[in-house]
Homo-oligomer: A and B are copies of this chain.
Amino acid sequence: MKDVASAAGVALKTVSRVVNGEPGVHPETAERVRAAIDLLGYSRNESARVLRSGRTATIGLVIEDVADPFYAGLSRAVEDVVIEHGCLLLSGSSGEEPTRERELVETFCARRVDGIIVVPAGDDHTYLRAELEAGTAVVFADRPPGAGIDVDTVIVDNAGGAARAVRHLREHGHRRIAFLGDDPAIFTAAERLRGYREALGELYDPALVSMRSPSPAGVRDDLDRLFALDDPPTALFTGNGRYTMTTLRALRGRRVPLVGFDDFELADLMEPGVTVVAQDPARMGKVAAELLFHRLRGEGGPAERVELPVNLIVRGSGELPTPR
């Protein structure tokens, strides 16, 4: 900047004004400065700008895993909003490990990001308190923060969606509906279990519930156990996209009535098409990012909790006749 200034025959501050598009520079002077910038191939050192101004124009995003289509969709939507606001996105995958979640958040904070969007892996977020007081904007997505932390949160209607799936199967005559889902320590899994249970009412039978991380072998074992029951399930409700795919694989073509939570690519091309309760990851990302920038603009108010709707997509698997 100093070099540009002397090349253009102005003071350093004038160059700063031109670079930042600040008013109060004579058009001709500005032109001269721009010429010098081009000539020298100058580009502003953002680190210095950040150090002085305090604004990094950077947003941090912590998710479970970018390689998961759900979070990939969410990431892309967040990224688009972030770029639109002239900021850049630092992102990291926690891999469902609370320690890693915390490390990522703290590293982002050390870099003084303006705001953070977190899909939490753990359930203790008291470590965020200092950052929140320091003015870092935080939005939780997909899952709410742990007790004692009150920040904007965007989730979907997990219980309602699960209930919708169960009602759909009941309307097709099923009374024995199994639920295969993630560990209920994960918020979304617990909520979906709640919706499943409420929609079943007195038909609820804990023997039909199996919750754990969806390994192929584990799901196979669970299905074997379920179908070996005296009163086996006539339909399945799977608790997330990965679970649905693993279950379909374990079923090896057996035509069992099934509704899955989460839509996924090619669900329509399966035979039969897979009926799902779909959520919209891109929508969730967009809403979370916009909420964040809303806060950044200082438009305060108490922490908001947005609940996004889900959507039943009927494709065939949920409407199969009861087996045997």
Contacts and interface: CB of A to CB of B under 8 A. Distances in A.
Contacts of A68: 72
Contacts of A73: 67
A106 B43 contact: yes
A188 interface: no
Given A47-B47, A112-B46, A67 B72 contact: yes
A81 to B, nearest CB: 12
A84 B58 CA distance: 22
A47 B43 contact: no
Given A46-B110, A72-B66, A110-B44, A79 B93 contact: yes
A248 interface: yes
Interface string A127-149: 00010000000000000000000
Which of A65, A67, A79 is most buried by chain B, counting CB atoms within 10 A of its CB? A67
Given A110-B46, A269-B270, A271-B271, A91 B93 contact: no
Contacts of A90: 58, 88-90
Interface in A266-306: 266, 268-271, 282
